[in-house]
Amino acid sequence: MISGGHKQGQTRLALVQMRCSANPDENLDRAVQFVKQAASDGAEVVCLPELFRSRYFCQSEDHRNFDLAESIPGPSTQRLGSIAREAGIIVLASLFERRAAGLYHNTLAVIGTDGEVAGLYRKMHIPDDPFYYEKFYFTPGDLGFRSFATKFGNIGTLVCWDQWYPEAARLTALAGAEVIFYPTAIGWHPSEKAEFGEAQHDAWETIQRSHAIANGCYVASVNRIGHEPAPEGSGGEGIEFWGQTFLAGPDGHIIAKAPANEETILHATIDRDRIDVHRTHWPFLRDRRIDAYGDIERRWRDT
């Protein structure tokens, strides 16, 4: 949905929910078309899902998958940058970054309206769960929690597993973020869906809505869709990505939401002026006891 007219303080977002194939070039071509369409429809900031250039390769530990990585700037940012420059938009692209030999990150590139990479966020929290073997591939981020000042507002960037951590959202908001984007690749193990699927999805949505409320900002979570098979011989059954990309407002209310199994460009207009209104009526930032939070830097508080 796109509101009629465009007021000061408003930003038009487009969240691209897409299916990813085994062909990286095909995925990039399709992502380019989605971004072009989003820009044509009036978007000013376009966000793609996590690691959109490939299927979710972290279902196995396979050294051949490092061939999927690329430099930043590189071929993906060049293609997307040309659209950003032509349309005068910002593109958020989640990529498998080859930083140096043996050093790889799960990285979100902020591509500015001039087509250049305006900044990077490297995923800080790296999971290691059954068929989410990300620690094999990704070095934890070393750039901290970031917000990027743009002509369309202050953009905060986190990635997938980061979305479960209140500390990450808080520090990103404290850096100035008015909207926090979470490019994501999350879904169900098919055999668990009937028993645990509803609760898993509900927890995922609830924790991110809580970040919006606690920090008085917008939260945009951008997922992929489709069943992606596990590599042959891995013993896995694949992952059914649950889509349901959404945008939540500073009060946690869901403003827009995509379906579970359809490719969609989810459009929504945010009003950044609402952030000040929300934060003055629910002054959570004012009432923080920063003098009493020293133990947050400890792994565990032993008694």
Q: Known catalytic residues?
A: 50, 123, 160
* C-beta separation of 290 from 227 below 8 A: no
Q: How far is CA 256 from the centre of its chain?
A: 16
Nearest to 17 by CA among 46, 44, 41: 46
Which residues on adjacent β-strands are paired with residue 183? Answer: 222
CA-CA distance, 19 to 93, in Å (whole number)?
Answer: 15
Structure tokens that stand for 275 in this block = 């952030």
Tell the residue number behind the tokens 């809505």, with chain if given: 209
Nearest to 147 by CA among 124, 167, 120: 120
* C-beta separation of 50 from 184 below 8 A: yes
Of all residues in the chain, what percent are helix, strand and coil, respectively (each to 5)? 30, 30, 40
- Torsion angle, alpha carbons of 248, 200, 158, 45, to 10: -40
CA-CA distance, 106 to 65, in Å (whole number)?
Answer: 13
Q: How far is CA 107 from the centre of its chain?
A: 10
